[in-house]
Each structure stands twice: as structure tokens, then as C-alpha cells.
Amino acid sequence: MEPANILLRLVALMLLIFPTNAFYFYSNGGERKCFHKELSKGTLIQGKYDVQTYDDSADGYRPATPNELNVVIDIEEVFDDNHRVSNQKGSPTGDFTFIALESGEHKICLQPQAQGWLAKVKTRINIDFEIGSESKLDTKKKSAVQSLQNKVQILNEKVEEIRREQDLVRDREAMFRDASESANSRAMWWTIIQIIVLSVTCAWQLRHLRTFFVKQKIL
């Protein structure tokens, strides 16, 4: 087998493995851009898009606002003389979902529409297609939601652990404070007792010395 044929087979296999297509294209003055997809009956296609307008002052593209333009999305059945099966108008950023009613080639068209002096503005449209069965895509969404729930659960457990550690630290601080206050109280009372004992001892000694001096007729 020739290397070129092997390479083509590998490329075709990769396209089958990765059904998600993300890319962007440019449009001038509301140009309509179409993409052809071969879909089997019951196949679900999900698309996400984001339209950016060219800003002369910034010399680059920036996100468009709903006041500037909207996007018209058409889906047509090429095999049925381009019969239009879906038509919707959305904001500059959004998504759409479509389930093929019949097998065959479908055409997905996007057209940015602006008003007034923005009618011929230059735009860049970022588009992401995901193709698969409805059950498969729903399962993928459920898995993503479950993953987020697991992450939230882990964060909650960490918060609870931090809260328990904080409670433990507060309890230890309370114990140390109580022990310190108890020690200070005992030291104060011990000092008072010492002062009282010394005062009584001094008074007794002075009384004893006075009696002694009186007996010796010194006083």
C-alpha cells in the first residue's frame, strides 16, 4: 500500500474519531456563508457561534453587541432541492440545535445582519459544530454536569474541613485563654496572701518587740 493512501486513511479515521469542528471565517457586508454536512436520519447537530466586528480605532476585532447586528441561521436539505427546514435569527453570540429528518447532504448557512452605517461592517465568525446522536450528546452533557457536581462536592468538603480546623483552633485558643486567666488569678491571690501573711508577721513582731522593750524598761 502506498504511503499516500495510508495517510489518507489515517486522516479519515481521525475525522471519524473527532466529530467536533471548530474554526472561524471572515465576512464582509453581511455575506452569507454556508457549510455542507452529510447527515444521516436522526443525527443531531449542535452549533455554537460568536460574531466579532472590526474596530478601526483598535485595528482589530472585538465582540459584537445585539444593538449592532444579529445572525440569521438557515439549514437546508440539498438533496431536496435546497428545501429550507430551519430558519432562526439570534444574537451575535449563541447556539443552535438541529435533528436531521432525512438522510442526505445538508447545508448550514450563517449570515450576520447589521443596520445603518454598520451594514457593510467586516466581521469574523467563530463557529463550532458538534455532530452525534441525541442520546450521545445528552450523555456527554450529563457527564459534564456530573463532573461539575463532583467538583462542587469536593469544594464543599474542603470548606467543611477548613471550618472544622478553624473551630478546633478557636477551642484551643479558648482553653489557653482560660488556663492563662486561671494562672493569673492564682498568682494574684497568692500575692495577696503573701502580703497578708507578711503584714501579720510584721505586726506580731512589732508587738513582741514593744512588749520586750517595756519589760526591759527601755520604753
Q: Which CATH number fits the domain that encloses residue 26?
A: 2.60.120.680
Domain range for 153 is 134-219
Instruction: Answer whether 120's CB lies under 8 Å from 29's CB.
Output: yes
Do both 143 and 191 map to the same domain? yes
Higher pLDDT, 33 or 18: 33
Q: How many structural domains is the chain composed of? A: 2
| 26 and 88 within one domain | yes
- Residues linked to residue 24 through DSSP beta bridges, in sequence order: 126
Q: Are 107 and 207 contained in the same domain?
A: no
Q: Looking at the structure, do residues 66 and 146 belong to the same domain, yes or no?
A: no
The answer to whether residue 76 scores a pLDDT higher than 90 is yes
Residue 13, pLDDT > 50, answer no
pLDDT-derived band of residue 126, with 50, 70 and 90 as boundaries?
A: very high
Residue 98 CB: number of other CB atoms within 10 A? 19
14 inside domain: no
CA nearest 105: which of 34, 22, 49, 20?
34
| In a shared domain, residues 38 and 119 | yes
Q: Which three cell numbers stand for residue 152?
A: 462542587
Query: Which of 88, 98, 90, 80 lies closest to 43, judged by CA?
Result: 98
pTM exceeds 0.85 for this model: no
Tell me, yes or no, whether 113 and 30 share the same domain.
Answer: yes
pLDDT at position 107 is 92
Q: What average pLDDT score do residues 115-140 get?
A: 70
Q: Are residues 141 and 39 in the same domain?
A: no
Closest Cα to residue 52, out of 126, 117, 115? 126
Residue 172 lies in a domain: yes
Given 114, 132, 150, which residue is the final one in a domain? Answer: 132
pLDDT at 11 over 80: no
Same domain, 77 and 139: no
In the structure, what pLDDT confidence band is assigned to residue 49 with cuts at 50, 70 and 90? very high
